[in-house]
Structure 1
């Protein structure tokens, strides 16, 4: 599969993320809290987002996010500098893909890299609100918002009043959508507790236990990932942090399902690569690929709030 990958600056701190649904990320980094219970730092909006790619092979995106190192100079970088930096981190992969006959023109695969400064640059995910994230029919109940707009037009409410009413109704709908999404993330996390499942296995579990999430599980999974309650990674990948530390000899990819070193490579329609690694040792269980999504339940710290931010605290941001 392909995913988006971006880096975000928030309060002077940088981090890299992958995304199954950028609409969720846009709302998350808008820094909107719930119920007035959040501390200022938790409710702080991001300062900028650098979208490196909207569609990068999952294995590449996971490595890129893990290998990113951040400096103060990055605040002055333009798109060309970000493209160059990302390409350097994936130099071996890009070279191997081109040798296998894949790849495209100059700048691939980061042609669309763009810097967004928030909140001036709105809509960086290309979603106006949560369209494409959660079905409106689930969020607004009986479509009351749209009916109210039509009624306002019919009774001749003044333009300024209609604008205010529409803004309030949009805000109400957006918050309802976010509540529904947060509830879906809670149910998904509970179902995946203690599990490590490939995408197909996770979809089968959702279809059996959470049929209401069947069409929207990616949005729910993305929110849980941002909350720190779910890990999204590639089924076949190198050791975490090896690229960042420059440990080239330890960058041999392994299957996270069985631990074997993958020996097969083949053209893959899912990620578009000419040479996508897969594990032959556990092939009978289903193909574990470098572009296959693996969803893993994130362990909680032994003592809450001692290993970074508690997922429970982060979850309150979305009303969980």
Structure 2
């Protein structure tokens, strides 16, 4: 995994500002001192930026920075000695705004989810479209009694109907609306519930019973399903976001279409998610679990719309 870019916070800038002499107002005009200080701080910030980017002439920046610091220090010292005054506290520039980390994005989404009202509607509607609309697609409408209407690429847009008391695939088994509503609302407890459920389920892979790494992947897939596809209540969705945020390898990809891009590395690959923290919705992902438990991976990514609706299947 790529190293996290070096960022500087208020403490770093305070320490850097402390190295600069304070303004001597009577002999050195304040605007001139401000210009010099801003120039030096600008060089410091550029130097920190250059640590994150390849430099064509790495020996020039330290020399320029040292020269600038020496020039300002010498000027201010001479003025203080001549005037007999004492240097004033340094003026500090506002700290640069740091980009949110992947974990911070997920925690904001968790807070948003927790505060969201409980959704209502006659059907839980899910639509998944691969590759921006040109690839595989499918959608379902599921009623509280388990009756489900489904259509997509494989049905040539024809609607098929089936009824199952536990219509959702989650954690290696089928679950009902009621089971989703009673899931733990604390992240550690939710992950533990999923782990126990996967270990006791009869889920199988092509190689037989899943090993420890694959069981952990199924747990992770379940957490992603809770925030992207399943009709989980607000507090359960919030717990799922927080459990995902606790993953050891979560990286922010910055702003992308639909929200904030995240890259989460697991033992079985990399999951890319686009999360909108303001709505706590997952707008896009490169893998998802279908209603029948199949794990689908798409290099082009899939867009997901999951919501309550009163509009019946068309």
TM-score (norm 2): 0.24
TM-score (norm 1): 0.24
